[in-house]
Amino acid sequence: MNGKADIALIGLAVMGQNLILNMDEKGFVVCAYNRTVTKVKEFLSNEAKGTKVIGAESLKDMVDKLKTPRKIMLLVKAGTAVDDFIHQLVPLLSAGDVVIDGGNSEYQDTSRRCNELAKLGLLYVGSGVSGGEEGARHGPSLMPGGHEAAWPLIKPIFQAICAKVNGEPCCEWVGDGGAGHFVKMVHNGIEYGDMQLICEAYHIMQSLGLSAPQMAEEFEKWNAAELDSFLIEITRDILNYKDSQGHLLERIRDSAGQKGTGKWTAIAALHYGVPVTLIGEAVYARCLSVLKDERMFASRRLKGPETQATVVNQAQFLDDIKQALYCAKIVSYAQGFMLMREAAKENKWTLNYGGIALMWRGGCIIRSGFLGNIKEAYTRQPTLTNLLLDDFFRCAIEKGQASWRTVVSSAFCWGIPVPALSTALSFYDGYRSAKLPANLLQAQRDYFGAHTYELLGQEGKFVHTNWTGTGGNVSASTYQA
């Protein structure tokens, strides 16, 4: 007998529960299941009380309650838990059924699972889900990829529950295999970068002696201008937050956690040979923050500049910080889109970069008005190789780069670490350079390892020089690592 549920969702942690309630609110019948079955009963008796949500006591019970073709979404811990559930589900499913992984799985795992389930006639989707608890409940950003034949089956549900911007859904098909999870991974990497840039701006303002309310006021102004975004907005709220002991922020230990997606982005950047330097520095900044005890010891032993952070015109310098943050943010997104472009080339994905920017405009953690400018850039030029070359962003950096350089150089002179702001500036200067000192690097490699080099005007011809007169003329193989 054909069941009555439109979709099943496995995993009743906060995200799973809120997605179920979101689907129910949009008119879909959801079957809820959790490995610990008592959680299903508790959910139905509390959060889901009065809804159309139904529960299942086993995977077979869940499968039996689904309309065909069956659609099952997993919201469980990435890794072996996903494989374990798939292994248990496969014998219960029929050809054409859809399995969706909505967790933060590594994109290579998603590609592997797509290939394995395709042999069994099952459709597999790896979907990025962004927005946290609030987004899951009221409209997340969704980034589905995998077997494209699954898209018409899940599209009505996904586009109903996702966030909307100007009536447009923040969800569209991304691409084959692990494309959806790759795009979500890059999203999270950019999130790391955005957060680190904001932290550096906060650190500079704090060093200048601004109080929490003064900083909150500044972030309020920024949020009404170019930096309009969720992360700027919540930074304002955090700075304003007070409890019985005063402003809470200054009592929070300065040791940052991470769940790995930023690190995965940095690893992918190294794998594909793309200089995603800002996200890498954001990851390293979190790693450095964790060395709290070492830093406390070092702070008593290592000396920095004696110059105190001070400026003649505070209002002007605060505007400089805003411009520096905006310019570095442009570089961060440019690097993220460079990485997606290179991965798409290698994996033969057809990614819609303007569509990805639109998916990120609402529901997700990095949502901002800025993403509308990225969408417009790719609408103007779908084959754009780098966001920095778009007229809008090129002009924005031309306008703000003097401020950017002032902020970075001042921070260096004051001994304030600005790894993300500074690496973004170094990337910009490197990218705009017609000539870099890599000619010397190539000569060094050839000198000690006979790795060869190309001469200007003779590209494609690799030659070796016997630099010492004693090394011989045999060269090593030419390769790219």
Q: Which tens digit of pLDDT belongs to each residue from 257-294?
A: 876 778 999 999 999 999 999 999 999 999 999 999 99
Report the distance separating Cα 204 and Cα 4, nearest Å.
57
Who wins on pLDDT, 106 or 469? 106
Active-site residue flag, 346 = no
Report the distance separating Cα 408 and Cα 80, nearest Å.
44
Q: Which tens digit of pLDDT belongs to each residue from 180-239?
A: 999 999 999 999 999 999 999 999 999 999 999 999 999 999 999 999 999 999 999 999
Reported in sequence order, the residue ranges of 62-183 that DSSP labels E, i.e. its strands, are: 71-74, 98-101, 123-130, 141-146, 164-165, 168-169, 175-176
Question: What's the predicted TM-score (pTM) here?
Answer: 0.92
Topology of domain 184-432 in CATH is N-(1-d-carboxylethyl)-l-norvaline Dehydrogenase; domain 2 (1.10.1040)
Q: Which tens digit of pLDDT belongs to each residue from 416-440?
A: 999 999 999 999 999 999 999 999 9
User: What is the DSSP code (8-state) at residue 251?
Assistant: G
247 annotated as belonging to a binding site for a ligand: no
pLDDT score for 123 = 98
Q: Is 409 helix (H, G, I), strand (E, B) or coil?
A: helix
141 annotated as belonging to a binding site for a ligand: no
Q: How large is the average pLDDT for residues 367-376? A: 90
pLDDT score for 478 = 53
Active-site residue flag, 294 = no
Buried b or exposed e, range 131-164, using 16+ CB within 10 angstroms: beeebbbebbbbbbbbbeebbebbeebbbbbbbe
Count of alpha carbons within 13 angstroms of residue 280, beta-carbon side = 17
Q: Which residues pair with 98 in a beta bridge?
A: 71, 123
Domain ranges of the chain: 7-173, 184-432, 437-480
Catalytic residue from among 39, 65, 184, 375: 184
Helix or strand run (H / E) with residue 454: strand 453-454
13 annotated as belonging to a binding site for a ligand: yes
16 annotated as belonging to a binding site for a ligand: yes
Report the distance separating Cα 1 and Cα 266, nearest Å.
49
- Show the tokens assigned to 154: 């899940």
- CATH architecture of residue range(s) 7-173: 3-Layer(aba) Sandwich (3.40)
11 annotated as belonging to a binding site for a ligand: yes
pLDDT score for 257 = 80
Length of the chain in terms of residues written: 481
Catalytic residue from among 191, 200, 226, 281: 191
Q: How large is the average pLDDT for residues 467-474? A: 76
User: What is the DSSP code (8-state) at residue 67?
Assistant: P
Whether 454 has a pLDDT exceeding 80, the answer reads yes
Three-state SS across 183-219? HHHHHHHHHHHHHHHHHHHHHHHHHCCCCHHHHHHHH
pLDDT score for 364 = 82
Topology of domain 437-480 in CATH is 1.20.5
Confidence of residue 361 (pLDDT cuts 50, 70, 90): confident
One fold for both 7-173 and 184-432? no
